[in-house]
């Protein structure tokens, strides 16, 4: 296990240096940013990403900004979390979606949050401090501090007929 942790630390240092070279000050992070395999950070078209102290990203997370994404201190992310501050425009049926540009809105994630696996956070979302966002949720609006958000599970019993 020590070898695996050492490997994550080594690759983390390398990737942080690479992000500094590619994105400069468009992507900033505080002390003790830790992440596992497959973290993707992109800040394009003037966008910025600001990550606080002691933030952890589990495997295969992605944060993509063309406007602004801010993540507070002590927030942790489960596997496969996706964060996008933009969406494709698609109102003009005569123009390809790719050619219509983007609509954007900043995203703010508070301090000491737990964002569960397979969560998607999209433009305009604001998550207060000390929130828990359950696995599989899509967040597109404001969540007050000290809130737990989860998917409602409904089990539907279907009758199986043989005959």
Give the H/E segment covering residue 27: strand 27-29
Helix (H, G, I), strand (E, B) or coil at 77: strand
Per the residue annotation, which of 64, 86, 88, 112 is the catalytic one?
Answer: 88
**Nearest one of 72, 83, 71 to 123, comparing CA atoms:** 83
CA distance 133 to 151: 9
Is there a catalytic annotation at residue 86?
Answer: no
CA distance 99 to 93: 11
Helices (H) and strands (E) in the chain, counts: 1, 19
Is the separation of the CB atoms in 66 and 45 below 8 Å? yes
Catalytic residues, which ones? 88
């Amino acid at each position: 296990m020590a070898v695996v942790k050492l490997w994550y630390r080594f690759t983390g240092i390398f990737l942080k240096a690479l992000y500094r070279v590619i994105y400069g000050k468009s992507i900033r992070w505080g002390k003790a940013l830790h992440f596992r395999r497959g973290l993707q950070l992109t800040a394009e078209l003037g966008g910025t990403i600001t990550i606080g102290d002691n933030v952890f990203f589990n495997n295969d997370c992605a944060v993509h900004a063309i406007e602004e994404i801010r993540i507070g201190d002590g927030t942790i992310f489960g596997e496969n979390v996706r964060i996008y501050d933009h969406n494709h425009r698609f109102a003009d049926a005569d123009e390809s979606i790719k050619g219509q540009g983007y609509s954007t809105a900043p995203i703010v994630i508070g301090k000491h949050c737990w964002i569960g696996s397979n969560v998607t956070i999209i433009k305009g979302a604001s998550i207060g401090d000390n929130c828990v966002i359950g696995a599989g949720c899509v967040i597109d609006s404001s969540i007050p501090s000290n809130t737990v958000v989860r998917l409602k599970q409904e089990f539907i019993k279907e009758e199986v007929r043989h005959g």
